[in-house]
Structure 1
Amino acid sequence: MAEFIVKDEVRKGVTKNPGLAAGLVRMHFHDCFIRGCDASVLLDSTPSNTAEKDSPANNPSLRGYEVIDSAKARLEAVCPGIVSCADIVAFAARDSVELAAGVGYDVPAGRRDGRISLASDTRTELPPPTFNVNQLTQLFAKKGLTQDEMVTLSGAHTIGRSHCTAFSSRLYNFSSTSSQDPSLEPSYAAQLKRQCPQGRTNPNLVVPMDPSSPAIADVGYYRNILTNHGLFTSDQTLLSNAKTASQVNQYARNSYLWADKFADAMVKMGQISVLTGNAGEIRTNCRVANG
């Protein structure tokens, strides 16, 4: 019943706005990498504390909060105090993957909600789009995830969008010797420059992560990397290491392999430092800790 309610709210949200599927997958990732999968990403800021959701890493780019709120309201009406916000986020990410990729998987339940959310944590716990393959590998290892799983989970960039500010350093004033990143295919760079003009300060300018199929989770992400069409440094860097490049090649040729391993990696990520037993709480409202 609980999972059906969440799935229904995700389906309604994604039907209205297909981009929410990517938003909900990203929300789960950003939640789990900070203090574990405890729904800390949902807590609102207070006069005395800036929460994760209002950090530059999450605001204005993170979306899908209204889907979680709607699911929580329905669940509290039928089974109050039973289903945690952390479980709702995990279920919603799974349902989003199913809608975008046609891949379903079982999500273990039983997470409890945390009471702490600090914007400052995002600076050290989330990988910025400028990370190289070694930095990514180290950060994922800190969370108990392998390099193989890092490459697999990076495939989530097959759906969704990015704000121009996340990659504009690759287009303009890249280094003292090159104005744009030489690892970016020139015609793709020219296209991105048209979409993200230099000096344009509009924070709402966005481009699709995978222009060929922005709402469908497929291996286009890996094929793009092979042709130097990776949007972020953290995407294109996967070709700079023999082992990760081999994996990119493998996934680009075999969508079933990626989908299968992606589901497994999502389940494992969803178990990072979870609160169980008497730890944490079951929030009544996902935006505020219980009084």
Structure 2
Amino acid sequence: MDAATTRRRRLRGAAWAHAVLAIGVLIFFLPIWITLVGSTHDTATIGRGDVPLLPGGEAIANYTAAWNAGGGRYRSAPAGLMLGNSLLMAVLIAGGKIAISLISAYAVVFFRFPGRMLAFWTIFLTLMLPVEVRIIPTFQVMVDLSLVNTMAGLTIPLIASATATLLFRQFFLTIPDEYVEAAKIDGAGPLRFFRDVVLPLSVTNIAALFVILFIYGWNQYLWPLLIVNDRGLETIVVGLAKMIGSGDTQNEWNVIMATAVLALVPPVFVVVAMQRWFVKGLTETEK
């Protein structure tokens, strides 16, 4: 087989691969495009089922209405308020999960104490419990602590993370023992070793986990729906669900679509802004 034939086959294979990828991208992007275009038309156009594929001229009015007043059958909270609540909740959940997981994984890996592995496996076994199993007792605890309709009640039960603890533990186990011995020779205590050695080595892993946990916190629906009935603490995911009524004629689809587009902006921004760190944290193995 000559070089020209090999090259043609390689190009043909690459063309098929790119064609399949392009079709996949179009399939996933089409609903987003329809939502984006629908958010620029008036209610009557969408109500007739006549959603064009090109943007209209009502974008400013629709996005202004969604941001300042909300919409839908049940008149949800303004999108600006809900976005702020969701952003604060997602950041607190992601930051809290990372902080607690770092400390717990550090204790399990670098300290020797009775029941160390029992503590780790107890944390790990919580992965086996579905959210629905824990949600009623967790809600009762929040009621007893008077944390219903508070940001603390919205975020604290979601902060503990067995998954992040497991991932940090596996990463810490790859840190060479020579680093520990060198720190001891230099007189560094546990806190200094954690601050000066472990944390700098964990930056890319922290960044990757932050992206994953931020999306996790942003997409929360069941717990915010249960713990919050104050419109001032309503999150964007819950608000979007409340905006949709039982019949199409009752829905302000243009405002709903504008709110949905606004809800996409923060997570997309986080993923794009931290993409390099995210990929590096998932693929980097050398310390």
Q: TM-score range by the shorter chain?
A: under 0.3
More contact order relative to length (CA 8 Å, sep ≥ 6): 2
TM-score (norm 2): 0.25
TM-score (norm 1): 0.25
The structure with the greater share of residues assigned to helix is: 2
Which has the higher Rg, Structure 1 or Structure 2? 2
